[in-house]
Amino acid sequence: MAAVTTNLVAEAARRHDLWPTVAAALGRTLTGTLLLASSLKELDRLTVQIISDGQIGGITTEANAQGQVRGYVRNPEANAPYNEKGKFDVGAVVGKGMFYVTHESGYDVGLYRDPYRGSVPLVSGEIAEDFAFYLLKSEQIPSAVMLGVHLLPDVPYVSASGGLMIQMMPGADERTISTVETSLNRMRQATMMIRDGARPADLLRAALGDLEFEQLDEKPVSFNCPCSYERVCSMISSIDRAELESMLKVDKGAVMTCHFCNETYRLDEAALENIMSGCHK
């Protein structure tokens, strides 16, 4: 699987006003989550959560089968000096912790089933290695994962973002594995290829070398959050009536901000009065 995610990572960075190292961390996680979710069924969704002790505090991303993803970090202003390779030190701001993957099915249409949740310790906090370690240890799938975000000093500063995920299925022979390893070691950085106009299939061609492959599917990807004013009204309508009355009398309204997309919804006195009378419009 491969993805070019420049526009959606730029949108996430804009919405959350991310500092550069955090933009790299969230961008990698958004891309990895999309790749991991690429085989989901229509009513499935996948959540990746990193809980760590670094400045960033944690990362949460969620993707569905339609190529839509959203996510946020706890501390958008985390920062660290460049590492010894002159790159963003994502591992430093992420720190040590746990990597969780939750697979849910049918939740949005009321056909909720018990979710599957797997977890592994973070191995580097650099994100790509952590996705690969999760696939190996939790799902027993040896995998190569490359995730990258290239940033510029101006705005919009996400100039390229994307990555790929190659999974070795049962029966893969040593020649195939060796060919892929050699090709990956020779491959240019994915973000450099994307800046030159590479599409997902071009990334896979470079990663697989001389191996033939068949493209099974292609879909657009986007930063997308299903939050809405109507959903906010529905949530507030479930609050205890005494608390609603307090919002109305003391606060003269209500304000809610979505963690995933940073969209803020404001309900004035008339809206709260309508909710209290049973009208959610």
Alpha-carbon gap, residue 186 to 95, rounded angstroms: 29
* pLDDT score for 147: 97
| pTM, two decimal places | 0.92
Are 32 and 50 in contact by the 8 Å Cβ rule? The answer is no
Phi-psi region of 95 (alpha: psi -120 to 50; beta: other; left: phi over 0): left
Q: How are beta strands 116-121 and 264-267 bridged, if at all?
A: unpaired
* pLDDT score for 245: 84
Alpha-carbon gap, residue 273 to 269, rounded angstroms: 6
DSSP string, the chain: -EEE-HHHHHHHHHHHT--HHHHHHHHHHHHHHHHHHTT--TTEEEEEEEEESSTT-EEEEEEETTSEEEEEES-TT------TTSS--HHHHH-SEEEEEEEEESGGGT---PPEEEEEE-SSSSSHHHHHHHHHHHS---EEEEEEEEE-SSSS-EEEEEEEEEE--TT--HHHHHHHHHHHHHPPPHHHHHHTT--HHHHHHHHHTT-----------EE-----HHHHHHHHHTS-HHHHHHIIIIISSEEEE-TTT--EEEE-HHHHHHHHTT---
Write down all domains in the chain, each with its CATH number in brackets: 2-223 (3.55.30.10), 229-276 (3.90.1280.10)
Are 27 and 13 in contact by the 8 Å Cβ rule? The answer is yes
* pLDDT score for 243: 85
Sign of the torsion angle spanned by Cα atoms 210, 215, 220, 222? negative
222-223 sheet: strands from edge to edge: 116-121, 97-105, 44-52, 58-64, 68-73, 222-223
* pLDDT score for 280: 45
To the nearest 10°, report the CA torsion of 222, 223, 229, 234: 100
Successive 10-residue mean pLDDT values, the chain, 281 residues: 97 96 97 95 93 97 96 96 88 97 78 84 97 95 95 82 94 88 94 97 94 93 95 88 84 90 92 76 43
* pLDDT score for 124: 95
Residues 6+ apart with CB under 8 A from 142: 135, 136, 167, 168
* pLDDT score for 281: 43
126 closest CA partner among 164, 96, 158, 166: 96
Phi-psi region of 233 (alpha: psi -120 to 50; beta: other; left: phi over 0): alpha
